[in-house]
Amino acid sequence: MKKIKNFKVKKFTKSSGVLIPVNFDKHFPIKVKRIFFVYGKKNKVRGEHAHKKCSQLFFPIFGKTILTVKTPNNEKKIILDHLSKKAVLVPPKYWCTIKFAKKNSILMVACNQYYKVSDYLQSFNKYTKYMKKK
């Protein structure tokens, strides 16, 4: 779990609204090749998989989600709230589950790999077997 990193997100607020810049420069934690957005109903779960090579930066856009990161021996729950100014980088080989804690919650996920179905470990049993080989 030591490899999971939190990042402060800059947020500029005026009376007219909020600006949250995301610069994909040399200071960004990964070289982004893909971005997607995840949203769902309150208390519903998404994710439930691990990646062999892909790192993911979870960035809360709106609402509140609970990111659960697991290994065969450990588990960590991370609250992602758009008010917290925090993003979380999860490297490959961690099992991730997202639970929507509030209605209309949205996450943006930036990845350092293009979508490739062979990179996914979609059952915890397969993930555990894969990790034993490493």
For residue 4, the one-letter residue type is I
Average pLDDT over residues 96-121: 96
CATH number where 92 lies = 2.60.120.10
| Residue 23 located in a structural domain | no
Bridge-partner residues for 123, per DSSP? none
Distance CA(61)–CA(55), nearest Å, equals: 19
Q: How many domains does the chain have?
A: 1
Average pLDDT over residues 111-131: 96
pLDDT class of 11 with cuts at 50, 70, 90: confident
For the CA atoms of 49, 104, 22, 7, what is the dihedral angle to 10 degrees? -60
Question: Of the candidates 128, 41, 30, 38, which has an alpha carbon nearest to the alpha carbon of residue 88?
Answer: 30
Average pLDDT over residues 118-131: 96
Question: Of the candidates 106, 47, 55, which has an alpha carbon nearest to the alpha carbon of residue 81?
Answer: 106
| Residue 19 located in a structural domain | no
* Domain of 85, in residue numbers: 5-10+30-133
